[in-house]
Amino acid sequence: MSRNASRSDRAGPCPARHAKILWRPTDGCVVLFHEDDGRAYALNETAADVWKLCDGQRTDDAIAEILARRWGRPCAAARDAVTAVLADLDGLGCLARPETAAPAAPAPPPADDAPPPSATWHEPVVEEIVFGACDCSGGSRGVIRNTQCTTTPRMQVSTV
């Protein structure tokens, strides 16, 4: 996770999920899928907690305060984790600028309405999911993302 990444190019003080990101919670974790480039990412439970609160209406500090209570961690430690996750998500194109934000969410619950407590706190992890490997380019190995091999250019085949 890139702890030193800058988020200064993201407009607005409240992080929001990009409208082109599809996501699904799975056993406390979250899987993200970027519609534009076909990349997928797995967020562990700690990073997923941050993602779920990126509604465009809460500031980074408000997210950190909510999660500090949830995680039973000092506010400074929660703020560091939130900052790191947001930097990673922004660098991967998962956070929105105003023109790419998902539709406005309903007003956030009061700050005391933190998500249910986690069983344990883990260092947040955001990692790319690679779906498989292929052997389609004359012996070279490629990576399959979104069911398409990235080592072989798409070829148009004539049916005439």
* pLDDT tens track for 97-116: 765 566 654 444 444 444 55
Q: What is the average pLDDT across 22-44? A: 91
Q: What is the average pLDDT across 151-158? A: 37
Greatest Cα pair distance, the chain, in angstroms, is 68
How far is 1 from 92, CA to CA, in rounded Å? 11
pLDDT at 119 over 50: no
pLDDT of residue 98: 62
pLDDT of residue 5: 41
- pTM exceeds 0.85 for this model: no
Number of domains into which the chain is organized = 2
Cα-only R_g, the chain: 18
Q: What is the average pLDDT across 45-53? A: 94
Q: What is the average pLDDT across 139-160? A: 43
Question: Which DSSP state fits 82?
Answer: H
In a domain, 12, yes or no: no
Domain containing residue 150: 131-160
pLDDT at 28 over 60: yes
Question: Do 88 and 25 fall into the same domain?
Answer: yes
The CATH number linked to 58 is 1.10.10
pLDDT of residue 109: 46
Q: CA 134 from chain center: how many Å?
A: 26
Q: Any idea what the Cα angle at residue 48 is, between residues 110 and 6, rounded to 5°?
A: 95
Please choose, from the candidates 88, 62, 85, the residue with its C-alpha nearest in 3D space to the C-alpha of residue 75: 62
pLDDT-derived band at 128, boundaries 50, 70, 90: confident
In a domain, 6, yes or no: no
Question: Do 51 and 92 fall into the same domain?
Answer: yes
Q: What is the average pLDDT across 136-153? A: 47
Question: Do 83 and 49 fall into the same domain?
Answer: yes
Question: Do 84 and 159 fall into the same domain?
Answer: no
Question: Do 90 and 56 fall into the same domain?
Answer: yes
**Range scoring the smallest mean pLDDT among 50-54, 78-82, 106-110:** 106-110
Question: Do 154 and 102 fall into the same domain?
Answer: no
pLDDT-derived band at 19, boundaries 50, 70, 90: very high
pLDDT at 138 over 60: no
In a domain, 67, yes or no: yes
Average pLDDT of the chain?
73
How far is 103 from 63, CA to CA, in rounded Å? 19
pLDDT of residue 125: 80
146 dihedral zone (left: phi>0; alpha: psi -120 to 50; beta):
left
